[in-house]
Amino acid sequence: MRLDVEGVSVEVAGARLVDEVTLDAPAGTFVGLVGPNGSGKSTLLRCVYRARRPDAGRVRVASEDVHGMAPRAAARVLAALPQETAAEFDFTAAEVVAMGRLPHLDREAARDRHVCHRAMERAGVAHLAARGFHSLSGGEKQRVLIARALAQEPRVLVLDEPTNHLDIAHQLDVLRRVRASGPTVLAALHDLNLAAAHCDRLHVLDRGRVVASGAPDEVLSPRLLADVFGVRAHRVRHPETGATQFLFDPLRP
């Protein structure tokens, strides 16, 4: 399902955090949102997954304005993993994942169990099903929450820093599994090498505006990385996949 962000702006206390952002994620693609701290990534994603209504502009899924949809209808097509998720009660990991089935009114218990188990397998947390959520490490919690989002069976999946708290092996594994799970993905990523290796397309935000869009090879030039991120970047190729990767140094004073 295609996702379109059309001229979205957000103001807080007179500051324009997101400034007329237009971007898209074609159906079935894995699209990355990158930019330095404070560039507006999380604020924009909140508008996409309906946690905040934009001050201007629209977010559309398959041409329908998500902010005009009923909450349950929206939750059937769009799932999100925010940066921070509070859990006040110590549910088991399996119970947390099962919450992803709540938008589906016509659900059947047997199918729910199958969908949840498959989602936990995809996120690599099936062995944690009986563990209390509060007993899990930060990385384990993150993967359980990804499983919950997958159990929702969304057509569009919005991820805000999905690799937070994960070691490098689980970072690579989670992105591979999410990509293989099928929905259109819009993900904010801090690690530019992960973004370059896993994303079909990137949108670069700086001070609330999109400053570049396109394939990672086209977008992540040393000049852009110097201008936007304030680093010197040395482009290399992954010896097995051929994906663009970078080595970074601070800009010379």
| All structural domains of the chain | 3-250 (3.40.50.300)
**pLDDT (tens digit per residue) in 190-200:** 999 999 999 99
Average pLDDT of the segment spanning 107-136? 90
Residue 105 has pLDDT above 70, yes or no: no
Q: What is the pLDDT of residue 86?
A: 67
CA pseudo-torsion sign 132, 137, 141, 147 = negative
**Residues 49 and 80 sit within 8 Å (Cβ to Cβ):** yes
Residue 218 has pLDDT above 80, yes or no: yes
Which distant-in-sequence residues (6+ apart) come within 8 Å of 227 by Cβ? 206
Q: What is the pLDDT of residue 246?
A: 93
Number of residues written out for the chain? 253
Q: What is the pLDDT of residue 77?
A: 94
Mean pLDDT for all residues in the chain: 92
Residue 41 has pLDDT above 90, yes or no: yes
**Using CA atoms, how far apart are residues 149 and 152, in angstroms rounded to an integer?**
5
The share of the chain scoring above pLDDT 70, in percent, equals 96
DSSP 127-187: GGTTSBGGGS-HHHHHHHHHHHHHHT--SEEEEESTTTT--HHHHHHHHHHHHHH-SEEEE
Q: What is the pLDDT of residue 99?
A: 92
Give the predicted TM-score (pTM) of the model: 0.92
**Using CA atoms, how far apart are residues 187 and 199, in angstroms rounded to an integer?**
9
**Which is higher by pLDDT, 182 or 26?**
26
Q: What is the pLDDT of residue 165?
A: 84
Q: What is the pLDDT of residue 70?
A: 93
Nearest C-alpha neighbor of 40 from the set 25, 60, 61, 55: 55
DSSP β-bridge partners for residue 12 = 15
Residue 88 has pLDDT above 80, yes or no: no
Which distant-in-sequence residues (6+ apart) come within 8 Å of 122 by Cβ? 147, 150, 177, 180, 181
- Radius of gyration, alpha carbons of the chain: 18
Residue 236 has pLDDT above 90, yes or no: yes
Q: What is the pLDDT of residue 108?
A: 73
Beta strands, E only, the chain? 3-12, 15-25, 30-34, 56-61, 64-65, 78-81, 156-160, 184-188, 201-206, 209-214, 231-237, 244-250
Average pLDDT of the segment spanning 11-25? 95
Q: Could you tell me whether strands 244-250 and 231-237 are parallel, antiparallel, or unpaired per DSSP bridges? A: antiparallel
Average pLDDT of the segment spanning 178-184? 89
Q: What is the pLDDT of residue 171?
A: 92
The share of the chain scoring above pLDDT 90, in percent, equals 79
**pLDDT (tens digit per residue) in 60-86:** 999 899 999 999 999 999 999 998 776
**Residues 121 and 127 sit within 8 Å (Cβ to Cβ):** no
Of 180-194, 211-225, 237-251, the least confident: 237-251
